[in-house]
Amino acid sequence: MTPPTRVAVIGATGYAGATAATLLWRHPCVQLRVLTSRSYAGRNFREVVPGDGPDLVLQDGPDPGDAEVVVVALPHGMAASLAGSWVKEGRTVIDLGADFRLRDAVEYRRWYGAEHASPGLLGSAVFGLPELGGEQLGGATLVACPGCYSTAAIISLFPAARAGLGSRDYIVDAASGVSGAGRSLALGSHFAEVAEDYRAYAVDGHRHLPEIVQALGEPAARITFVPHLVPMVRGILATTYFNLEGRHIEEVRAIYAAAYEGLTFVRLASSPPHTKEVAGTNMCLVHVAAQGDRAVVVTALDNLLKGASGQAVQALNLVMGWPEATGLEGLARWP
Amino acid sequence: MTPPTRVAVIGATGYAGATAATLLWRHPCVQLRVLTSRSYAGRNFREVVPGDGPDLVLQDGPDPGDAEVVVVALPHGMAASLAGSWVKEGRTVIDLGADFRLRDAVEYRRWYGAEHASPGLLGSAVFGLPELGGEQLGGATLVACPGCYSTAAIISLFPAARAGLGSRDYIVDAASGVSGAGRSLALGSHFAEVAEDYRAYAVDGHRHLPEIVQALGEPAARITFVPHLVPMVRGILATTYFNLEGRHIEEVRAIYAAAYEGLTFVRLASSPPHTKEVAGTNMCLVHVAAQGDRAVVVTALDNLLKGASGQAVQALNLVMGWPEATGLEGLARWP
Amino acid sequence: MTPPTRVAVIGATGYAGATAATLLWRHPCVQLRVLTSRSYAGRNFREVVPGDGPDLVLQDGPDPGDAEVVVVALPHGMAASLAGSWVKEGRTVIDLGADFRLRDAVEYRRWYGAEHASPGLLGSAVFGLPELGGEQLGGATLVACPGCYSTAAIISLFPAARAGLGSRDYIVDAASGVSGAGRSLALGSHFAEVAEDYRAYAVDGHRHLPEIVQALGEPAARITFVPHLVPMVRGILATTYFNLEGRHIEEVRAIYAAAYEGLTFVRLASSPPHTKEVAGTNMCLVHVAAQGDRAVVVTALDNLLKGASGQAVQALNLVMGWPEATGLEGLARWP
Amino acid sequence: MTPPTRVAVIGATGYAGATAATLLWRHPCVQLRVLTSRSYAGRNFREVVPGDGPDLVLQDGPDPGDAEVVVVALPHGMAASLAGSWVKEGRTVIDLGADFRLRDAVEYRRWYGAEHASPGLLGSAVFGLPELGGEQLGGATLVACPGCYSTAAIISLFPAARAGLGSRDYIVDAASGVSGAGRSLALGSHFAEVAEDYRAYAVDGHRHLPEIVQALGEPAARITFVPHLVPMVRGILATTYFNLEGRHIEEVRAIYAAAYEGLTFVRLASSPPHTKEVAGTNMCLVHVAAQGDRAVVVTALDNLLKGASGQAVQALNLVMGWPEATGLEGLARWP
């Protein structure tokens, strides 16, 4: 029997890091060795994150110890300066943050307002969306997982973009639960302000936009992306619009069905999916419909699982050559 | 001093009817005479609808008594057969439902699946959106108030449609609180199914679509309208997209500012509005922005006030020649 | 290797039945053979209950087929007339409903307003609260699982009642999420009425009261039980009060610690538990504190798991001699 | 005609201060002159607090200008050092905070952990609960409004305490919406942590306890008070328990009816009140019931209105000799 792979989670008490830590704790091929947290160092993970997650004491500095795999869930900018040495030491780095998603350091500065600390690494990072080039993940040493909105948008659009549907002119109207804004305190996540409220934000352009365009691999694609905040904890829904340009919707559905064929965690749904259907799971449901001569594609996923940590585990499974769904099944509950 | 106008509300215990009854009870120019309710006849309104609404016993049949004005909040199909005789008796009818919104009986049958009971009245109904032809409301005898989604969509789009912006090709991605589905029981309004959920519905086409097209007065306009359900009680947000086609966003903003000039209940907002900002009020906030060469217009209103009963009172004020905001002020609360 | 035990779930599309079906579908010792549903017969379970539950077609009548174990999740009154024949046929019956909880048919009539259909079976049912006499569950043929409120109240109180604390005079102030009211439509579960609302109900006495008294085994105990409804989907919290009568709180804590010793799914917590800490799990957390000379015991559990279906699986494990936690681990998620 | 009274609100952008400012802006006898806010000085109130509140620029320091009445909504400890000079200047001070609620400086230090800055003023403050000694409010110069929980508890209990019911041994199990925790950021008000959660806190004793005991005027009374947090924005519900000691519940109801006779904002309800029934209003609903030989009294109010700012305006009305309900009517909405 193969010994389990030693894994560290750097930044384990935010929502994405804690979710990754909990999944990896249960993962049959993994031995979770190190969890770090600046805010809660010295305390047991279970005191800080309720539930039956790792029974481990949180470490302070970003030191992965003897871990072979380092899962990073830090605010943007921090992984950029740390990942290089970990990669050099021969470890595999799976980054949930934004630091290695864009291949172009100029684009990075434009959207994140700071110089990238390791621009030389940008070219070597593999984009961690298994549905799009998952074959490149095998043996990768630096994986940049896409953001939650990006995952929903890219899965919604890549079949259309590949086939050139709608002249590659797309509108993505997306909405997320509040956990997507993380565990850091802000008036925009304050219960009394968010409950009974719905709003759009970043209407002028959101940081996830360039990684969507890059992932679709069509620089000429024109994508409008507007995120909204929903008074719920988990879930992302993307409603995507493009012109049918004379195609029948059944033809479009066939294109989508072919593009999704064989995917473990993407499924066509016969009716518009609810975010609640996928909450707690790594599944992504997509409904393809038409209203008049416009296609309407609705995609739902859990922002903390398929949109973040579940996807990171899925990517790790492919990096290591394990079955893609290892550690990602049997999590759903209803209602 | 003028004596108060006698008013009846037919269907006073659904959310729209109850809201209308409460507003009219406080209205300084109105004497509320009759409230009817099939479900709760014989009980005091306050037993059935919490709060400080009308202290009146609910009547059974749809009989407006000696009311000069009849406000109707019934399921669609019912006002069509009742309104004719009330109009003949010289009463003013303000219908919150769908029965007189479409001018074309064929369109009505197509979207509502039944013959219209009084097709002859369709031509005489005045559309009760004061911002769009409010001058026709003075002295009207049959007013058809638009639906909540329609109100948001029309206010979002009429400045653009009049000016021919975006080649009159518009996408309206809208989201509503659950009270928009009314007080009738349904699994889609069942707490445990709706809480922590967000979904799109009617992606193939929604009944509010034809009244939006009709109100914009541009049969050639192409409008895609997709509604979503938000786990909150009140509020509608419409995010509207169209191509700038070379125009600068400031030019578009000027067009909107001019179109909204002088409107009592529509205001341009400098940032994307929250539904919660307008909850409990008759105000409609609109933010006009651009993302690249696409305009993004975000509109928020309270579905039960500006989207239903507040608008009905606003329309009644114009019908009667009262100041437009009478009985509609001082209702906001935060948070 | 032992062949899996064949199980049927009768009433598999309400919240408790669906949760039981999903747990049993994943259970390593169980082969789920039959699911029944009056409302959704003929459809696949997964069409009716989102998630990755059983991939089985729902049957119509209450026929368990070749199942050795019948899990029943029916409205009260229905199991009473069905269970007898199943027991006679040599099957094991695990009832999630109220029909076999009370040992006294007169008490049953008093609280449920109808004659019991099989009073002769009442004496033979084993109460399915593993923490209280779990040793009687081994080999049982008819198990009556307690209700969600009862489970919380009994776990809160049995250490105190056994020790005679507070002169066996207890107040249980409990609050439940809305899923506790089931999937049947009612104005009391209608989103727009329940959201942003909190209320007490059944203040004069609730059906769970007699089974609490019976389970505590102290007919002289005096228990006041008032339930409340919380605008959330899952979770029960019971805040229990009794007089310290001169005892030190540490003494009381020691009594509780001793009573809970060795229990798999009950744990003393060092601070008042949140319902969200146990949501999705079969765990029950209890905090024992004092305010002046009164003890305050706060108990949290998930009403659909430890309060219903998780507990049924836990009881089934004990009936069959399987490890108590089989099929009940690794379900937590946060936030 | 009397000129309006000039009023300032010190601390106008927290939830209580903002609610007071909005009520006073609409109040027919008041001219709102000054609003202050450390966090948002220089901005218009309406930019910071959505809705149709005061159209005034926020001032920085705590300077009430030429106001005759100063309404103070500051964190505890701050009013204590400011109020003295305002009172000396002949202004009337209405304090929404905790600084003048307790008459005893030793009790203050015990619960608030600091010396009181103006212990000499403690004796002169009038307790601002109009239902309990409202006649002392006429012409008062320093009014200490009780907290939200205290208001609910005192209204629940004073009829019983005066009559000596239940041997003055009371349990108050109360629950509040999250706005009660204010607008300051904290993990305990963070949406993703609070939504879908219910919990007890301060089980060992809460700061509102001593003011409840003091207000009941029965030092020998024994009160256990445990607060809970409900995932909703507004509302407080107190469920209160005491022994009937042989009295019939109708006798208890008569005692309550007599005690509440003539009160403008307290009403006996024939069924357990919902917090949502009183949300947005200054009304307090009380239901008196029995379970066996124990009385159960359930009281609902809006924590920001009757529990804070509405009560402050009600107290101000009595101080000034205006009708008690001035500026406090017509605010309800449903659902």
Q: Are C153 and C240 in contact (CB under 8 A)?
A: yes
* Sign of the dihedral defined by the CA atoms of residues A182, A184, A188, A192, in that order: positive
Q: Which tokens belong to D169?
A: 């041994």
Helix axes C15-26, C310-320, angle to 10 degrees: 50
Q: What is the CA radius of gyration of chain C?
A: 19
- Position D312 scores a pLDDT of 98
- Rounded distance between C-alpha atoms, residue B76 and residue B62, angstroms: 14
- Position D51 scores a pLDDT of 84
Do residue A190 and residue D187 have CB atoms under 8 angstroms apart?
A: no
Q: Peptide bond before B335: cis, by omega within 30 degrees of 0?
A: yes
- Rounded distance between C-alpha atoms, residue D154 and residue D132, angstroms: 9
Question: Has residue B192 got a pLDDT over 70?
Answer: yes
Cβ under 8 Å to C: B residues 188-227: 189-192, 194-196
Tell me the H-state helices in B65-204. Answer: 78-88, 105-112, 119-122, 148-163, 191-194
Do residue A274 and residue B226 have CB atoms under 8 angstroms apart?
A: no
Strand partners, A287: A298
Per-residue pLDDT tens over the stretch A148-171: 999 999 999 999 999 999 999 999
Question: Has residue A302 got a pLDDT over 70?
Answer: yes
Summarize chain C as % helix, strand, coil (round to 5).
35, 25, 45
Any B CB within 8 A of D233 CB: yes
* Sign of the dihedral defined by the CA atoms of residues C93, C98, C99, C104, in that order: positive
DSSP string, B250-297: HHHHHHHHHHHTT-SSEEE-SSPPBHHHHTTSS-EEEEEEEETTEEEE
Query: Does residue C148 carry a catalytic annotation?
Result: yes
Q: Which one, of B92, C262, B286, lies nearest residue A203 by Cα? A: B286
Greater pLDDT, B191 or D334: B191
Summarize chain A as % helix, strand, coil (round to 5).
35, 25, 45
Q: How far is C277 from chain A (nearest CA, A)?
A: 5
Per-residue pLDDT tens over the stretch A3-55: 999 999 999 999 999 999 999 999 999 999 999 999 999 999 999 998 889 99
Mean pLDDT of A129-133: 92
Element (H, E) at D200: strand D199-200
Do residue C197 and residue D225 have CB atoms under 8 angstroms apart?
A: no
- Position B1 scores a pLDDT of 64
Tell me the H-state helices in chain D. Answer: 15-26, 45-48, 78-88, 105-112, 148-163, 191-194, 208-216, 249-260, 275-278, 310-320
Kindly list the residues from chain B whose CB atom is less than 8 angstroms away from the CB atom of residue D329: 52
- Dihedral-angle region of residue A202 (phi above 0 means left; psi in -120 to 50 means alpha; beta otherwise): left
Task: State chain D's maximal CA–CA distance in angstroms.
Answer: 62
Q: How far is A200 from chain D (nearest CA, A)?
A: 16
Read off the pLDDT band of A133 (50, 70, 90). confident
Task: State chain A's maximal CA–CA distance in angstroms.
Answer: 62
DSSP string, C71-95: EE---TTHHHHHHHHHHHTT-EEEE
Nearest CB among C51, C195, C277 relative to A277 is that of: C51
Q: Are B207 and B197 in contact (CB under 8 A)?
A: no
- How far are the Cα atoms of B85, B198, C108 from residue B297, in angstroms, in the given order? 42, 21, 61
Ordered per-residue pLDDT tens for chain C, 335 residues: 689 999 999 999 999 999 999 999 999 999 999 999 999 999 999 999 988 899 999 999 899 999 999 999 999 899 999 999 999 999 999 999 999 999 999 989 999 999 999 999 998 999 999 999 888 999 999 999 999 999 999 999 999 999 999 999 999 999 999 999 999 999 999 999 999 999 999 999 988 899 999 999 888 899 999 999 999 999 999 999 999 999 999 999 999 999 999 999 999 999 999 999 999 999 999 999 999 999 999 999 999 999 999 999 999 999 999 999 999 987 778 89
Mean pLDDT of A66-74: 97
Kindly list the residues from chain A whose CB atom is less than 8 angstroms away from the CB atom of residue B177: 196, 198
Kindly list the residues from chain C whose CB atom is less than 8 angstroms away from the CB atom of residue A331: 52, 331, 333
Nearest CB among C197, C276, C296 relative to D226 is that of: C296
What residue type is A256 in one-letter code? Answer: Y
User: Three-state SS for A190?
Assistant: strand
Q: Are A282 and A334 in contact (CB under 8 A)?
A: no
Q: Which tokens belong to A68?
A: 């072979």
Mean pLDDT of A281-302: 97
Kindly list the residues from chain A whose CB atom is less than 8 angstroms away from the CB atom of residue C281: 51-52
Element (H, E) at B213: helix B208-216
Those residues of chain D that have pLDDT short of 70 are 1
**Intra-chain end-to-end CA distance of chain D, in Å:** 39
Kindly list the residues from chain C whose CB atom is less than 8 angstroms away from the CB atom of residue D205: 291-292
Do residue D15 and residue A190 have CB atoms under 8 angstroms apart?
A: no
| φ, ψ at B9 (rounded to 5°) | -115, 120
Distant-in-sequence, close-in-space partners of D193: CB < 8 Å, separation ≥ 6: C276, C335, D187
- Position B219 scores a pLDDT of 80
> What angle is formed at CA D206 by the lines to CA D204 and CA D212, rounded to 5 degrees?
125
Strand partners, D287: D298
Any D CB within 8 A of A243 CB: no
Residue B242 CA, chain-centre distance (Å), reads: 24
Helix axes D148-163, D249-260, angle to 10 degrees: 120
- Rounded distance between C-alpha atoms, residue A309 and residue A23, angstroms: 8
- Position D52 scores a pLDDT of 83
- Structure letter (DSSP) for residue C49: S
User: Three-state SS for C110?
Assistant: helix
- Rounded distance between C-alpha atoms, residue A153 and residue A171, angstroms: 10
- Rounded distance between C-alpha atoms, residue B53 and residue D78, angstroms: 40
Chains contacting B (3 or more CB pairs within 8 Å): A, C, D
Per-residue pLDDT tens over the stretch B30-75: 999 999 999 999 999 999 998 889 999 999 989 999 999 999 999 9
The chain C residue lying nearest A196, using CA atoms, is C196
The residue count for chain A: 335
| φ, ψ at D300 (rounded to 5°) | -125, 140
Helix axes C208-216, C105-112, angle to 10 degrees: 150
Q: How far is C186 from chain B (nearest CA, A)?
A: 7
User: Three-state SS for D190?
Assistant: strand
Chains contacting D (3 or more CB pairs within 8 Å): A, B, C
Q: Which tokens belong to B113?
A: 């699946």
- Position B76 scores a pLDDT of 87
- Cα atoms in the 13 Å half-sphere on the side-chain side of C164: 0
Q: How far is B205 from chain A (nearest CA, A)?
A: 6
- Structure letter (DSSP) for residue C124: T
User: Three-state SS for D296?
Assistant: strand
Distant-in-sequence, close-in-space partners of B89: CB < 8 Å, separation ≥ 6: none
What residue type is D74 in one-letter code? Answer: L
Question: Has residue B262 got a pLDDT over 90?
Answer: yes
Do residue D332 and residue B52 have CB atoms under 8 angstroms apart?
A: yes
Kindly list the residues from chain D whose CB atom is less than 8 angstroms away from the CB atom of residue A232: 195
Nearest CB among C187, C192, C232 relative to B233 is that of: C192
Nearest CB among D15, D192, D232 relative to A15 is that of: D192
Kindly list the residues from chain A whose CB atom is less than 8 angstroms away from the CB atom of residue B294: 171, 224
pLDDT mean across residues, chain B = 95
- Position C1 scores a pLDDT of 64
Distant-in-sequence, close-in-space partners of D90: CB < 8 Å, separation ≥ 6: none
Any D CB within 8 A of B19 CB: yes
Distant-in-sequence, close-in-space partners of B297: CB < 8 Å, separation ≥ 6: B156, B157, B160, B238, B239, B240, B241, B242, B256, B286, B287, B288, B289
Q: Which tokens belong to B60?
A: 């059974």
Do residue C15 and residue A179 have CB atoms under 8 angstroms apart?
A: no
Per-residue pLDDT tens over the stretch B129-154: 999 988 899 999 999 999 999 999 99
Any A CB within 8 A of D178 CB: yes
Do residue C281 and residue A49 have CB atoms under 8 angstroms apart?
A: no
Do residue A53 and residue C280 have CB atoms under 8 angstroms apart?
A: no
Per-residue pLDDT tens over the stretch B98-128: 999 999 999 899 999 999 999 999 989 999 9
Kindly list the residues from chain D whose CB atom is less than 8 angstroms away from the CB atom of residue C196: 177, 232-235, 275-276, 279
Mean pLDDT of B303-307: 97
Q: Which one, of C286, C333, C281, lies nearest residue C310 by Cα? A: C281
Do residue B200 and residue A232 have CB atoms under 8 angstroms apart?
A: no
> What angle is formed at CA D288 by the lines to CA D283 and CA D289, rounded to 5 degrees?
145
